[in-house]
Amino acid sequence: MSIYVGNLSYEVQEDDIRRVFNEYGTVKRVQLPVDRETGRVRGFAFVEMDSEAEETAAIEALDGAEWMGRNLKVNKAKPKPDSGGGSFGGGGRRGGNNSGGGGYSSRRY
């Protein structure tokens, strides 16, 4: 399981998060998503700790705490929702009588 950390300062770095969470146990991993277009931190992170007890201690201590001028939102991360498959998101576009050819008919008249 991992911890969601929201309302982070845009100046935060992975080492900053690791240092704070290390006070509550062993940090296994920190993910700090970055915006693809701007390269700027997106304002949230995911932290994985060594045990559930350490995660619970960190959540209880840090949720609502002020850090870097902001009130943190810290809770158990929810699993990513299943988007339903298919990369184009709509499935078949061919309807009833479509012969499948871009305007050309193979029949001769």
Give domain status of residue 62, yes or no. Answer: yes
Mean residue pLDDT of the chain comes to: 85
Give domain status of residue 13, yes or no. Answer: yes
- pLDDT tens string 75-85: 999 987 876 65
- Dig out the tokens for 71 from the structure: 């009130």
Give domain status of residue 102, yes or no. Answer: no
CA-CA-CA-CA dihedral for 51, 62, 10, 79, to nearest 10: 50
Model confidence at 14: pLDDT above 60: yes
d(CA 12, CA 103): 56
CA-CA-CA-CA dihedral for 46, 48, 49, 54, to nearest 10: 50
Q: Which amino acid is at 2?
A: S
Mean pLDDT of 71-77: 97
Q: Which CATH number covers residue 37?
A: 3.30.70.330
The pLDDT value given to residue 102: 52
The pLDDT value given to residue 93: 47
- pLDDT tens string 18-64: 999 999 999 999 999 999 999 999 999 999 999 999 999 999 999 99
> How many structural domains are present in the chain?
1
Q: Which amino acid is at 60?
A: E
d(CA 21, CA 59): 9
Give domain status of residue 14, yes or no. Answer: yes
Give domain status of residue 41, yes or no. Answer: yes
Give domain status of residue 95, yes or no. Answer: no
Q: Facing residues of 5 across strands? A: 45, 74
Give domain status of residue 96, yes or no. Answer: no
Model confidence at 94: pLDDT above 80: no
Give domain status of residue 42, yes or no. Answer: yes
> Who contacts 106 (Cβ-Cβ below 8 Å, separation ≥6)?
99
The pLDDT value given to residue 80: 78
Q: Which domain holds residue 52?
A: 3-76
The pLDDT value given to residue 30: 98
